[in-house]
Amino acid sequence: MKRIATIGFFDGVHSGHRYVLHELCRLAHEYRLQSLVLTFRQHPREVLQSVCPPLLTSPEERTALIRSCGVEQVEMLDFSQIRNLTAKQFMQQLHEKYEVVLLLMGYDHRFGSDRPADFSDYQKAAAEVGLRLQQLAEYDSAMPHVSSTVCRRLLQEGNIQELNALLGYPYTLSGRVGHGNGIGRTIGFPTANLELDFLHKLLPPDGVYAAHTKVGGKFCRSLVNIGMNPTVNGKERTIEVYLHGFAGNLYGEQLQVQLLQFIRSEQHFSSLDELKIQIDTDLQYLLSLPEEGRA
């Protein structure tokens, strides 16, 4: 089947990416083509510099988010196998292997080992291999400039609300519940020790966050503590999740923790009683927030 495609790493699948993906789907419908997104399992820097930067999304999360925009097919490419292809060679591969007849490019997107500087150079190479190119205008939004780099910066600053606005969905930490030290249970706040599915997942600064946690198909209001647990002399950075109103055994369960808001920095308390009083205060703040932001 003939396809229209676009290509990119799409880390975070933020609102700027979604603009591209929605245009891809609109044009696919208009021209009666199948929509295809080509992305990469490994970040290009992992191949080119042997360093994988912390990322907003795992390959599985990216695929799911891209598909949620209505894209029919997502292909994860091995960047190491195409890194030396020129733009023309890469477009020829798209045309021959995936039957791509129309390639959609973002206004500032570049690809190929030769990285042509001008869009007309891409058009000329595309015409030689039987492809048409269409370039999108810059994403016009009332919000500030959106990019994966900006989103990562906001996360690292703990600015969760602004980050979520740029993403268009709540930033999510996914993983299974492992065994912790059990301290939370002794003070009336049992927590789930979250073991992330994706080891390169970028985390916000240490502290306490308001969240919604999805477990067993249902959501619970949650407090999330990220950090070293200085009150109990913790030795490792952990992610601990308190699910308000939840009763049951969570060990081995899969959780999706949607971060909504930064509450406070991690603190050292002189006793567990002081810690309990602060968690009570955090919980009251959590319960005062509107129940919104679920995805």
3-state secondary structure of 21: helix
Letter string b/e over residues 2-35, b meaning 16 or more CB atoms within 10 A of that residue's CB: ebbbbbbbbbbbbbbbbbbbebbbebbeeeebbb
**Taking 60 as the threshold, does the pLDDT of residue 295 lie above it?**
no
CA distance 281 to 268: 16
Query: What is the mean predicted confidence (pLDDT) over 76-100?
Result: 96
E-strand ranges in the chain read 3-7, 34-40, 73-77, 100-105, 132-135, 171-178, 192-196, 207-215, 218-227, 238-243, 254-264
Question: For strand 207-215 and strand 254-264, is the pairing parallel, antiparallel, or unpaired?
Answer: antiparallel
pLDDT of residue 181: 75
Contact 223, 264 (CB under 8 A): no
Contact 109, 136 (CB under 8 A): no
pLDDT band at 142 (very low <50, low <70, confident <90, very high): low
CA distance 40 to 77: 5
Give the 3-state secondary structure percentages of the chain, helix then strand then coil, rounded to 5: 35, 25, 40
pLDDT band at 293 (very low <50, low <70, confident <90, very high): very low
CA neighbor of 294 nearest in space, from 211, 228, 231, 225: 211
Contact 15, 143 (CB under 8 A): yes
For 129-138, 149-158, 254-263, which range has the lowest pLDDT when averaged over its residues?
A: 129-138
